[in-house]
């Protein structure tokens, strides 16, 4: 299986946010499910420095993926949803295919209709656009099938990516109302199964096929819980409670353990007023519901777009209760889970938890026994993966601003990009040692791809390839 997954940032966008790649075939080079690749990459890079090539690309927030000598990238050119194949040798575009958008999703300042990263097994390239649905192409650009889907019901649009597991395409569709997990046949696009997730609210985490290599389950980090489903049937297998109300970061595997981390603002704080008091104070037309104008000042009005799950402009008691309960039960956490058995595994499967320096968007990085957590503001935490013991916590990388891309690693180096376009390279060790800070000069929200000593970076308007000088 080769897959890239990435979540999204709640208040900012439906866009790629955290990405990971998983590869079970050696020809699909790049980071594995923990964001790690072999082959190294230059610690110093930038325009004109260790630059092999750079080409302009259409806007998009999806990350690049690599299969053989081709790199695949999705974009939005203003009229069509696009998938393009680029040569890894020189970046030239080999082919481009387009899909017609339906209703363009609502987004925020960094939002883009090309949010989800594609997935490939070396023969098929699967894309997902919230404004269209799923489609599959051959690596030569031949269209194989289309599977249109409704536009996600969220304030900001889709933020999850499809994955491939065996002969299935899997897509998690957590949204404000009507959440579900979907499995399609990768050869035909026909639905194999669909499992409803009525307890799940808005979420943007990409699933994990588990265990890696020979998966039998698909694991989803969603509202308040980490949950697994049977890969063949979609039936519930097990769950672990204790996550935030809204997950953006994705789960990753390592040594028989699933690592997951999430953060949302105000998590664990009982802050939602009683419904009866809101109705008494604001329900002017006495219809038992609240419009945004009727909602009293405070959380009900501030979070109205989130609370109004079906987006009909009226907040019902049931909608309010579901969201308020999730807010109050939410817990910001990083945890390690070893699932054994079925049902509720909360009391038996959690190996450790950690509560500082948690990521909202970036997915954790597992490398050489260390778990890296990236918090907005360029704050990095490094834990011993086996125990959760901190090596260091919330250390400043010297690159201010938000972080959307996930960290990646190769050899003894870790690379972290800020939204402002600063690529920080640090030594993979028990102590923070920054080797270089590299400025691209424009925004980066996509997670880089690594391949045989090359670092591929998508910025706001360009696709870059960096390698050590003299590298083939």
In this prediction, residues 279-292 reach a mean pLDDT of: 91
In this prediction, residue 2 has a pLDDT band, given cuts at 50, 70 and 90, of: very low
Domains: count for the chain: 2
Give the structural domain span for 256. 2-268+330-466
Above 80 in pLDDT, residue 196? yes
Above 80 in pLDDT, residue 466? yes
Based on the domain organization, do 352 and 257 belong to the same domain? yes
In this prediction, residue 159 has a pLDDT band, given cuts at 50, 70 and 90, of: confident
In this prediction, residue 119 has a pLDDT band, given cuts at 50, 70 and 90, of: very high
Last residue of a domain, one of 283, 306, 327: 327
For residue 33, the model assigns a pLDDT of: 47
Pairwise pLDDT comparison (314 vs 108), residue with the higher score: 314
Query: For the purposes of burial, counting CB atoms within 10 Å of the CB of 429, is it exposed (0-12), middle (13-18) or buried (19 or more)?
Result: middle
Based on the domain organization, do 115 and 239 belong to the same domain? yes
Compute the distance between CA of residue 146 and CA of residue 210 in angstroms, rounded to an integer. 26
The rounded mean pLDDT for the chain is: 89
pLDDT of 221-245, one tens digit each? 999 999 999 999 999 999 999 999 9
In this prediction, residues 16-37 reach a mean pLDDT of: 40
For residue 309, the model assigns a pLDDT of: 82
Based on the domain organization, do 282 and 160 belong to the same domain? no
Above 60 in pLDDT, residue 445? yes
Based on the domain organization, do 189 and 301 belong to the same domain? no
Compute the distance between CA of residue 381 and CA of residue 393 in angstroms, rounded to an integer. 4
Domain at 319, CATH number? 1.10.238
Cis peptide before 211 (omega within 30 of 0): yes
Rounded to 5 degrees, φ, ψ at 219 are -110, 135
Phi-psi region of 237 (alpha: psi -120 to 50; beta: other; left: phi over 0): alpha
């Amino acid at each position: 299986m080769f897959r890239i997954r990435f979540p999204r940032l709640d208040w900012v966008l439906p866009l790629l946010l955290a990405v990971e790649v998983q590869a079970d075939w050696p020809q699909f080079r790049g980071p594995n499910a923990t964001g790690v690749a072999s082959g190294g990459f230059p610690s110093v890079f930038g325009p004109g420095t260790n630059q092999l090539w750079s080409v302009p690309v259409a806007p998009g927030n999806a990350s690049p993926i690599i299969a053989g000598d081709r790199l695949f990238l999705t974009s939005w050119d203003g009229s069509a949803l696009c998938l393009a194949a680029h040569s890894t040798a020189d970046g030239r575009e080999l082919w481009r295919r387009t899909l017609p958008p339906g209703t363009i999703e609502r987004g925020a300042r960094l939002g883009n209709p090309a949010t989800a990263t594609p997935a490939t097994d070396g023969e098929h390239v699967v894309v997902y656009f919230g404004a269209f649905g799923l489609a599959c192409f051959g690596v030569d650009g031949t269209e194989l099938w289309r599977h249109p889907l409704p536009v996600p019901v969220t304030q900001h649009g889709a933020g999850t990516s499809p994955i491939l597991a065996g002969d299935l395409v899997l897509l998690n569709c957590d949204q404000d109302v009507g959440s579900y997990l979907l499995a399609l046949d990768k050869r035909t696009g026909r639905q194999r199964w669909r499992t409803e997730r009525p307890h799940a609210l808005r979420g943007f985490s990409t699933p994990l096929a588990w265990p890696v290599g020979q998966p039998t389950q698909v694991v989803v980090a969603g509202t308040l819980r980490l949950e697994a489903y049977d890969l063949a049937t979609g039936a519930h297998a097990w769950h672990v409670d204790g996550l935030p109300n809204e997950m953006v970061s994705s789960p990753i595997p390592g040594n028989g353990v699933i690592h997951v981390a999430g953060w949302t603002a105000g998590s664990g704080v009982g802050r939602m007023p009683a419904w009866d008091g809101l109705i008494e104070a604001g329900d002017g037309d006495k219809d038992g519901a609240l419009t945004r104008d009727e909602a009293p000042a405070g959380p009900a009005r501030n979070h109205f777009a989130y609370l109004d799950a079906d987006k009909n402009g009226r907040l019902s008691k049931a909608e309010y209760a579901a969201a308020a309960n999730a807010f109050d039960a939410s817990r910001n956490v990083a945890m390690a889970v070893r699932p054994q058995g079925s049902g509720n595994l909360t009391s038996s499967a959690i190996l450790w938890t950690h509560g500082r320096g948690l990521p909202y968007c970036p997915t954790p990085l597992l490398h050489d026994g260390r778990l890296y957590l990236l918090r907005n503001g360029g704050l990095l935490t490094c834990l011993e993966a086996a125990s959760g013991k901190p090596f260091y916590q919330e250390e400043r990388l010297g690159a201010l601003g938000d972080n959307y891309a996930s960290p990646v690693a190769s050899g003894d180096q870790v690379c972290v990009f800020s939204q402002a376009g600063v690529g920080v390279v640090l030594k993979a060790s028990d102590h923070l040692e920054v080797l270089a800070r590299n400025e691209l000069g424009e925004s980066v929200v996509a997670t880089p791809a690594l391949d045989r000593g090359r670092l591929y970076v998508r910025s706001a308007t360009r696709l870059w390839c960096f390698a050590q000088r003299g590298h083939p």
